[in-house]
Chain A
Amino acid sequence: MTRDAIKEIVIEIIKDIDEEANTAALAADRPLRDQLDLDSMDFLDIVMELRKRYKLQIPEEDYPQLNTLESCVNYLEPKLRHL
């Protein structure tokens, strides 16, 4: 899976949580929670959806790596490369 495809998937999951989220204007290097109406429970929704879709078990200590769109892609790329 390419970096662009991973980015699209994260955005798709966010849109699924909040279809009113303005993802078009997302700055890739800024924290998602500063730019969107997302709280800790929404963040866990993202983790759960990745688990459901790709059987990814993301340990709690890795949650900070999902802070920005860019860091999400960096973190997920090696895990989803084979797909």
Chain B
Amino acid sequence: MEKLPAHQRVVITGIGLAAPNADNLADFRAKVLAGRSEIREIELRYMGRVPAGVCVFPETKHRKKKDNKRGTRAGCLGVYAAHEALLDAGLTLAEGAGYRPDRTGVYIGLTEHGTVETENEVYNISQYGYNVDYWTHHHNPRTVLNNPAGEITMSLGITGPHYSVGAACAAGNAALIQGVQMLRLGDVDLALCGGVSESVGSFGIFASFKAQGALASHPDPTQASRPFDLDRDGIVISEGACLYCLETLERARQRGAKIYGEIVGYAMNSDALDFVLPHGPRQAECVRLALSRAGLRPADIDIVNTHATGTRQGDIEECRGLVEIFADCPHTYFNNTKSIIGHAMGAAGVLELAANLPAFDDHLVHPTINVERLDPECALPNLVVNQARRVERVDVILNNSFGMLGINSVIIVKKI
């Protein structure tokens, strides 16, 4: 994509996030490098105690408590991350400040939305004999699928397009791709895009994973998320948000913006096979397609951030494809962020990419933690285990993110 003119090349110039162990990129990077998990047990209606990733961040920094109460948790997380991303990019949308509110688009990846609010309301009316007179008038504006994106536009006065991209756990990447495409089409000049998840508020999501035999458990919650380990037993569900400011290389250079990297390749495809089981060969096709679009060889990739969630079959499927693609790539390193922060669903892909982007500057590959007995079927070459590793160069990062119903996404970011 380097052959594209500068007004078609898309770069990341701002990152705002709320992760289960940090509320800004610098702290987040320090925690993932140290392999510090802050996964804890929460008490959930009907479920009891379960490990989960919960975000602690200044919720009223950018929006009144009244609006947080009226909106959703996803909206609250998204509004925080959106404001932080703009601040990080050194951007305001004030008149004459460079980017116009009507030329700004908000694209938010969601795994699901409305589950938390619906469960809460059913519980609420159960306290009143299931009389629907007690059902809240806030239900519809809270559960429409554009809710988190719309809350962001209201908070920031953005009058360009906003909508959600539903793509199961590939949603964060999918929304980034949407942002790139809308910039290239000239639909907007600035894209605020990424993913949000409020999943830890839904007992149904936990219960469904449990029913599938895919909900992680461990006496020490910080050790519950253990992709690639023989003793892995499922997913740790987390909430989170991570939004990026995307703009064209041309505009970013004109205003002297700090550039995290250029999105040089992406791909999405579908397994077309199963509701829940992942399919390695199709995932591998997705990786190859992204590489081909980026004009890169596997050996050009310095870090592969894996999607692996800690399920038995899912981890193996992904690793099979990666081992084959990166067979002769001695300088390609692999890691997994979910081992540290759990699975942030719609925010997963974008949080995991953010966890790795600072490697362009510090040349460190953050570790995959909780690997005590590596599953031989997940023995990726150069898997960075338990301790961060310093490497010679980090110029290109590839980020995998896959989801239910067989949706696969890959994003490749290159240092500029």
Q: Which residues of A contact B (CB under 8 A)?
A: 17-20, 37, 41-42, 44-45, 48, 51-52, 57
Chain A residues with CB under 8 A of B133 = 51, 57
Say how far B205's CB is from chain A's closest CB, in angstroms: 27
Number of interface residues of B (CB under 8 A): 12
Say how far A45's CB is from chain B's closest CB, in angstroms: 8
Q: Which residues of B contact A (CB under 8 A)?
A: 64-66, 69-70, 128, 133-134, 136-138, 141
User: How many A-B pairs with Cβ below 8 Å?
Assistant: 26
Check A48–B66 contact: CB distance below 8 A. Answer: no
Check B138–A20 contact: CB distance below 8 A. Answer: no
* A-B pairs with beta carbons under 8 Å apart, 23 shown: A17-B66, A17-B69, A18-B64, A18-B65, A18-B66, A19-B65, A19-B66, A20-B65, A20-B66, A37-B66, A41-B70, A41-B137, A41-B138, A41-B141, A42-B70, A44-B137, A45-B137, A48-B134, A48-B136, A48-B137, A51-B134, A52-B128, A52-B134
Chain B residues with CB under 8 A of A48 = 134, 136-137
> Bound complex: CA of A57 vs CA of B131, how far in Å?
12
> Bound complex: CA of A31 vs CA of B128, how far in Å?
31
> Bound complex: CA of A42 vs CA of B138, how far in Å?
10
Chain B residues with CB under 8 A of A45 = 137
> B124's closest neighbor in chain A, by CB?
A52
Chain A residues with CB under 8 A of B134 = 48, 51-52
> A18's closest neighbor in chain B, by CB?
B66
Chain B residues with CB under 8 A of A18 = 64-66
Say how far A57's CB is from chain B's closest CB, in angstroms: 7
> Bound complex: CA of A19 vs CA of B205, how far in Å?
32
Chain B residues with CB under 8 A of A52 = 128, 134
> Bound complex: CA of A52 vs CA of B134, how far in Å?
7
Say how far B83's CB is from chain A's closest CB, in angstroms: 19
Chain B residues with CB under 8 A of A41 = 70, 137-138, 141
Check B136–A20 contact: CB distance below 8 A. Answer: no
